[in-house]
Structures are given as structure tokens and as C-alpha cells.
Amino acid sequence: MVAEGADLRLDLTRADYSSPIVVSRRDATGSTVLGSDLTSSFNQLDGFLRMRFTPLGAKAKRPFTRVAGACLGSISERIRPDADPRSPYPTYCRYNPYSLGAVQGIADGYAASVLVPYGPMKSVPAGRYRVEIRVSAPWADALGISATDRLRTSTLRVRHYDDCDRGCRRTAPQPRSVAPRPRAQRPDAQRAIDPAEVPADYPKPDLRALPAWGLRISRNGDFLQFSATVWNGGNSPLVVDGFRRGGKGVMDGYQYFFDADGEQLPDYAQVGEFEWDPKPTHLHWHFRSFAAYSLLPVGHTPEAPDGHDDHHGVQSRKEAFCLANTDAVDLTGDGAQWNVDNSDLATACGDEGSLSIREVLAAGWGDTYAQFRAGQSFNLKGLPNGCYNVWVEGNPILDHDTDARTLVESDYSNNTAKRRVCIGGRPGARTIRHLQPIGDIDENDTGGYFRR
């Protein structure tokens, strides 16, 4: 698709997990709601394209139709020399079942792919076709695309490929951030203050927890595995630098703050420690105070000062974290960064010989730890059958005598999320008898782009 004369920007939002996704078009004059029945996924624009394939040749079969979702701007390029040098819009449509807002767009003077980059259409048999590609009526009408511009026809030849061994690519290259990633600075280059003294007018992150998801019982029947996401809903990134303490496997952590232009502000605060994690599914530096997970009987909370033993609850063995922007949760918020450059753990968390590191959680983005990570589970051995809440807590309270949290945030009231799960079965063969649904969320829907 081509944008001429103005950007094409779409904001996708939902008020809560029981509400539909509302699609709005935003331009220089404001925002216009296009509808709440256009798409059910942040991962794609449902049913955006209709493609009619007419086989060619003497042995041609009957025509057939494919319907495809779209991710605007997954690959984009300038078509005019006077267009802006970079498109600001997200280059990927990131998936999290509990996302709240997304942005898709094509910059003025850009042409952009709307389909999965490098994705072979495996559902289309090999052969030659005349293909009519049409923006579906609901989307074309909503976007005001003329009858002439909503349809294109081309000739296509589809070949068989065997596991991409003839040159097709499975994944697109990692996007580069529009804004340069700030360089780590030594602690003595600025002014150290107590976390409680960080000026009130400094932009700050806001760590929030999403409900635990992907719950399942481990193969040996004794552990409740889960995925968890803590995200930054503030107007500024969470930036924590680590500096190695002599030759030890420990780094001292310092939180830095940035203004709206991305310039580092003069004050920083010491905020805990990093440690080297040698487990096979980690092998990087972890910050110790980012999140905590608890499995507690219904009616009990993580803030209980008596700990968990008296409540017959357990804590996850996962207690330290590498910060990385793995999931876009809400890119429509104030200060949200649309493109990030540390979206995988290998680039964000250093190696065993690192002397310093910088770990970042951009505004609008979440850090997800999945079930396969070491320690990302609850030990059910000795735990009675019954109903519990899985608590996910960002920036947890580690000292209940002071109720203080380690990281500096703009809001400490939204750090926890809970989800009810009922455990049954017998030792070595435990089961999930019931899992609390969260609104209308289908955690198994990964947002496929094509359907018949």
C-alpha cells in the first residue's frame, strides 16, 4: 500500500479485556473512530485483503479465494526523495494476549507491505495464477479508499519450497530503533541521590503487571508453569545500568531518568543489584528487584508480612530478571516508543565477562517470561488441592518493615495482578480443575494472517 498526501495511522485500543478493539484513524486534526467490529486482534487487521486466485494453463482448476489479515508497515520504503528519511511507525505487529493498545501506520511518501514479511503462502498450491487483490469492503469503506484504488490485479507463480532450503527467509531482520539507544554512563558522571529524593517533575516509568497466562502442569505433574508479563505504562523508559563490583559476579544497579527529548537528567539513584545467572535457559545478567510471583490461597495477598508458610502458599523460584522489550502492550500511551532495539535477551543482558550493562524497558512495552524459563513455575509438592491466586507483582516490596519498592515509579498502586486457578489431582499427576477466564481473551489465538 502507498500513502500519499498524509500519513495513514491507525490506533487500536480496548478499555478492558471484555470490550471490543476500537479502531481509530489519527491525523493532524485529531482522531476519528472507524469502528469496534473491524478486528479482534492487535496482531493483525482481520480480513483486510481478499485475494481471488484464478489458475492459468490447460489444466487449470476452479478459482478460489483467500482472506488475509494485515500488519501495516511491516516493510516500508520511500517512494519520493522529499519524504521523511525514516518512517516512525512500528515495523512489526507484536503479540501479547493481554495487549491494550497498538499503533499501525504508513508514513506519507512511503510504500509498505501489509502482509507477513517473507511469509510463504503455504495454503496456495503450486502453479500460475491471475490474482485479484482487493482491500475488503469494511476496511476500504472505513478508510475511504476509492473503488479504483482498492483493487489490483497481478500474475503470480507459486513454487514448492522444502523447508525454505531454496532461499526463502523465515524471519525478517531485527528493526533498528528510530531514536539512538542512550549510552551507559559511569555513576560519578552525574549526581547520586536517594531514590526517595528523585524530583517529582521527572518523567518516570510506571511498572504494571498483566494477569499470568499460559498456565499448565509440568510433564512430571508436580509444577504449575506459567507465563508472566510486567510492562511499563509510564511516559518514560525504565533504564537501569549495572556496574561490576570488582571481579565479583555482582553489579550495582543505578536507575537513570530522561526528559521528553530523550536527554538524560542530572540525577540518578542506586536501586539494587544484578547477578550473573548460569542456568542454561538464562546465561545473562539479572536484575533482582524487577518482579515476584506468588501462588497464594484465595483471600491472601503478597503484602502479608507473615510470609507464605502460614498460608500454605508458595513463591516462584524465579527471583531475578533480564529486562528486554519482548511484547508491545500499549503503544498508544503518552511517551510510548513505537520501535525498540533491545527486543531479544541476547542484546540486552550482557555476557559473563561484561563490566557494565544497560537494561531498558521502553514505555508501552512489556517483558514476558515464558514457562520454559528455569524457575518460571510453582512447586506443588505438599500443596493441598484447592483454589489459589497467581500473583504477578512488578517492582515488588522486598522489605515488609518499610513497604518500600526498589525502583522509582510514577505510580505504585497498579503493580500487581492476580488470576484464580484451582488445583486438583494427586502428587505426580496434579491437574488444573478450573482457570479463571479474563474477559473475552483467547490465549490460544496467535493471530494467524491467512484463512481459507
For residue 142, name the pLDDT band (cuts at 50, 70, 90): very high
Of 209-218, 237-246, 257-266, 399-408, which gets the smallest average pLDDT? 399-408
Predicted local distance difference test score (pLDDT) of residue 312:
65
pLDDT value, residue 350: 77
pTM to 2 decimals? 0.83
Q: Is the dihedral of CA 181, 185, 190, 192 positive or negative?
A: positive
Q: What is the pLDDT of residue 125?
A: 84
372-413 tens-digit pLDDT = 555 678 999 999 999 999 999 999 887 666 678 899 999 999
The DSSP output letter for 152 is E
CB 416 within 8 A of CB 395: no
Selected residue with higher pLDDT from 410 and 351:
410
- Is the distance from CB of 51 to CB of 133 less than 8 angstroms? yes
- The CA radius of gyration of the chain, in Å to the nearest whole number, is 24
Residues 6+ apart with CB under 8 A from 27: 6, 7, 9
Q: Which residue has the cell 503493580?
A: 415
Domain boundaries, the chain: 2-158, 194-451
Q: Return the residue matching grid coordinates 570488582.
A: 246
Give the integer Cα–Cα distance in Å for 18 and 122. 34
Q: What is the enclosing helix (H) or strand (E) of 285?
A: strand 284-287
Query: Could you give the strand order of the β-sheet that contains 22-27, starting from the edge strand earlier in sequence?
Result: 30-35, 22-27, 8-13, 101-106
120-133 CB burial, b ≥16 within 10 A, e <16: ebeebeebebebbb
**Is the pLDDT reported for residue 195 higher than 80?**
yes
pLDDT at 8: 96
- pLDDT tens digits for range 296-308: 999 888 875 444 4
